[in-house]
Structure 1
């Protein structure tokens, strides 16, 4: 199987090539912008210098070294559909700016691939923000807009970007996988999504051989059983299924105490893992998870109340709770082909910052 059989223990390098306001609030200070699109539009010509400085500062070669030292063997790198420069279709949120996005991200990605190779990390390249936005979240590029599936040119451009990524890095020693699309929303029609995934596979495979590079598709917030029989061998080879698991976005989770969170992570999620492993016929990884239980710190959109499991605990009890919640999740996600913590770094939210979770002892100091 080559590298396909590796157990991935990884982190996401989010808010680097696709900005998310809650992770880097300092970049958004004094602006009305809520996502990378409106940030670039609002700043106009001033965006380039500021964003390029962020690219240089947010993730460096030293970060790859730090991860490798701790036994992390993979990174998932979110990219926007504008990564190759101004050939993307227009969206009304751009206003007067035909091409609002800052150019030069591809050089940053080239560096990341070199650093990954140098330190022996596998890379999952993830199309995180598609034209027209596939989910209406800030991480999809345009908050409150979900139009990716409404225009053929948005779909075609997404496929072109995937093919160009595969062409550029398809034989790069560090490339483990290309992910067709991050978190397409539940109301994107399943048939449309599946048809896109099939085309994505074909386009990526033109340049990235199955023995070297996996093709990943996300569950689109649907039950895994909607994909039974989908993209199976022998017609398809080296396909991975991606699920994201959080416990801070739904009312029932928000209202739960820490024992409920641990029980869900090591109970319901473990039962789900057994079912996926038994029934789906595709290796699966958990592409995003965190220790986040407080919705208020991550959300630009959610309605309160923002009660959460840790709010009345002292520091020692909080540390115990975070360690327990981390261990319960890891015990489950280790059943899969692997996992990627969201995120490697944040400015103000320790439970979402891998580096801080390790330094505070909430996560293990070694993953080897």
Structure 2
């Protein structure tokens, strides 16, 4: 098995082993917390029971079965740098708790790997939050902080977690790929990022041979052309380039109507895929995308105004618009080695919930 066959069609199992408040608002009720770090720091010892209950409920064996029944063949599983327990460097956001994070996530991940194997799903394991936070987003573990690239011990811990993940699952039949780091921010220097990716590749390859496991790196919100010539064969093998594509964060996108959204997906993003396939020398995946167009529902930080393309449509028009936007994105991302919808499940935001999108008819009911 290698990274190039067959096409990966999958979902992210978001807000499971790494919380995002907008996806599971019920878990944060009554708390000031904005992310998993402050959730654990604020609750202290009480965090364990609440979070372990969430781990057991949010994604189950039945969910893996449901995905497989619909012809999906892959899942991307985000996790935090604390997955193995308390050996991570301290950060001031932890307050007086030296090790605030709840332990036991690795057992949940073990179970997920076995479920994936049972139902024939391939797994991309994704280091989604690095020590010190690599992007300042809630999904990086500490909202408003981006310091991962400023301390050697943060870098080293991230590398050691990747190596331990590689060592633990090296022989697991479900392991398809290991992603070095999710969404390092645009102002993390490109040279720093590249040297981290090269070091991560080396750590992962100590345990996972190229013929079995792909190594994935994210574009860091910069042009793919900054990576032309990077991590090429024969020295580097089975490497995948990851990009994430959304149309709800940038003001120009927010002000677009649905026709412009579909044109961007079916035009600009199609052309981008053709260019990447022609120039980069690496297979690529769109590791995150959604039908989300309304910034208000995902953002703990945005100022607004919260206009969006569907706000003045009736229910039928919204339904057709969602189907059209879904189809134009899918057709673009099918040009790649594969794609992963963000996310499998949310509590209150159907356009970001794969299961809702399928059940409402916005996405196909069969992906074979």
TM-score range with shorter-chain normalisation?
over 0.9
SS for the counterpart of 1:243 is strand
Deviation for aligned residue 1:6: 2.0
Whole-angstrom CA distance in 2 between matches of 1:3 and 1:224 = 19
Q: 1:212 is matched with which residue?
A: 212
Deviation for aligned residue 1:190: 0.4
SS for the counterpart of 1:234 is coil
Question: Any residues of structure 2 matched to 1:178-189 within 5 Å, and which?
Answer: 178-189=178-189
Deviation for aligned residue 1:30: 0.8
Question: Any residues of structure 2 matched to 1:299-318 within 5 Å, and which?
Answer: 299-318=299-318
1:144 equivalenced with 2:135 (yes/no): no
Deviation for aligned residue 1:171: 1.6
Question: Any residues of structure 2 matched to 1:49-128 within 5 Å, and which?
Answer: 49-128=49-128
1:226 equivalenced with 2:226 (yes/no): yes
1:4–1:176 CA contact under 8 A, matched in 2? no
Whole-angstrom CA distance in 2 between matches of 1:89 and 1:305 = 38
SS for the counterpart of 2:176 is strand
SS for the counterpart of 2:181 is coil
1:47–1:102 CA contact under 8 A, matched in 2? yes
Q: 2:358 is matched with which residue?
A: 358
Whole-angstrom CA distance in 2 between matches of 1:170 and 1:310 = 45
SS for the counterpart of 2:264 is helix
Deviation for aligned residue 1:3: 5.4
Whole-angstrom CA distance in 2 between matches of 1:115 and 1:76 = 13
Deviation for aligned residue 1:4: 3.8
Gaps of 5+ in 1: none
Deviation for aligned residue 1:303: 1.2
Whole-angstrom CA distance in 1 between matches of 2:264 and 2:253 = 9
1:4–1:212 CA contact under 8 A, matched in 2? no
Q: 2:177 is matched with which residue?
A: 177
- Aligned pair count reads 368
What do the CA deviations read for 1:276-297 (whole angstroms, capped 9, x no partner)? 0000000000000000000000
Whole-angstrom CA distance in 2 between matches of 1:194 and 1:51 = 34
SS for the counterpart of 1:78 is strand
Whole-angstrom CA distance in 1 between matches of 2:111 and 2:45 = 25
Whole-angstrom CA distance in 2 between matches of 1:15 and 1:38 = 15
TM-score normalised over the length of structure 1: 0.99
Gaps of 5+ in 2: none
2:351–2:357 CA contact under 8 A, matched in 1? yes
Q: CA RMSD in A?
A: 0.6
Whole-angstrom CA distance in 1 between matches of 2:4 and 2:59 = 26
Whole-angstrom CA distance in 2 between matches of 1:4 and 1:235 = 17
Deviation for aligned residue 1:2: 3.8
What do the CA deviations read for 1:207-229 (whole angstroms, capped 9, x no partner)? 00100000000000000000000
Whole-angstrom CA distance in 1 between matches of 2:339 and 2:116 = 17
Whole-angstrom CA distance in 1 between matches of 2:170 and 2:328 = 36
1:344–1:355 CA contact under 8 A, matched in 2? yes
Which ranges of 4 or more aligned residues in structure 1 deviate by more than 4 Å? none
Deviation for aligned residue 1:5: 2.0
2:41–2:100 CA contact under 8 A, matched in 1? yes
